[in-house]
Chain A
Amino acid sequence: DGGITQSPKYLFRKEGQNVTLSCEQNLNHDAMYWYRQDPGQGLRLIYYSQIVNDFQKGDIAEGYSVSREKKESFPLTVTSAQKNPTAFYLCASSAVRERRGNTIYFGEGSWLTVV
């Protein structure tokens, strides 16, 4: 089945540790995105990538890093510099980077908790 796979579903991180969230898509989409969702707030864009080996910061990129070495993969690293990392993280992708925009598809999300 085509779709977006995020792993792990649940992750616990100790203070000072970096963790990496995986996102893989088999939809042949050019664009991929990482969002953060906190209770009572809308989704906030962390990073996005329009093409392999290129990515741009979103609204809340501080304390996060990404890579886009393959079209199918867009991993997110939550670094120790992120002061409040406990949140629900959503990966998404869309077909092309037309101005009109296209339907965006989401993974099932990853819960990150700092312990």
Chain B
Amino acid sequence: KQEVTQIPAALSVPEGENLVLNCSFTDSAIYNLQWFRQDPGKGLTSLLLIQSSQREQTSGRLNASLDKSSGRSTLYIAASQPGDSATYLCAVTSWTGTASKLTFGTGTRLQVTL
């Protein structure tokens, strides 16, 4: 059974710092990995999707890497801003035999302070 872990559970950094969020998964037979952002009381917004054949994806100040063999992904946020404060979740897609299935981590709650 696929399990996804995110460490740390919470993180507080001053504005302007670069930071890394971590995601690990137990079964390396994945098709892709996605990073999401969730604001309090809101739905999830997809940030980046990395296919299993890719090593990284970039969008603006965000860079996500994937090491499928070791079961790890990192989300790098450059020059953090207070508006980046949110919970960040990663999810991996696996094939169940009949359908794709996403397994989510529990998230890292990020606070960027002035």
Residues of A within 8 A of B (CB): 4, 6, 31, 33, 35, 40-43, 45, 48, 50, 56, 88, 90, 92, 94, 97-109, 111
Residues of B within 8 A of A (CB): 4, 31-32, 34, 36, 41-46, 49, 51-52, 89, 91, 93, 95, 98-107
Q: Contact check, A104 vs B46: say whether CB atoms are below 8 A apart.
A: yes
Cβ 8 A contact of B32, one of A88, A97, A101, A105: A101
Q: Contact check, A104 vs B42: say whether CB atoms are below 8 A apart.
A: no
Cβ 8 A contact of A108, one of B42, B46, B89: B42
What DSSP secondary structure best describes chain B's contact surface? strand
Q: Contact check, B104 vs A42: say whether CB atoms are below 8 A apart.
A: yes
Q: Contact check, A109 vs B100: say whether CB atoms are below 8 A apart.
A: no
Q: Contact check, A98 vs B100: say whether CB atoms are below 8 A apart.
A: yes
- Which of A4, A41, A101, A106 has the most B CB atoms < 10 Å from its CB? A101
Q: A42-B106, A97-B99 are in contact. Are A109 and B46 (CB under 8 A)?
A: no
Taken together as a complex, chains A and B put the C-alpha atoms of A108 and B44 apart, in Å, by 8
Q: Contact check, B46 vs A99: say whether CB atoms are below 8 A apart.
A: no
Chain A residues whose C-beta falls within 8 Å of the C-beta of B105 in the assembled complex: 42
Q: Contact check, B98 vs A56: say whether CB atoms are below 8 A apart.
A: yes
Give min CB distance, B47 to chain A, whole Å. Answer: 10
Q: A40-B106, A100-B31, A108-B42 are in contact. Are A45 and B4 (CB under 8 A)?
A: no
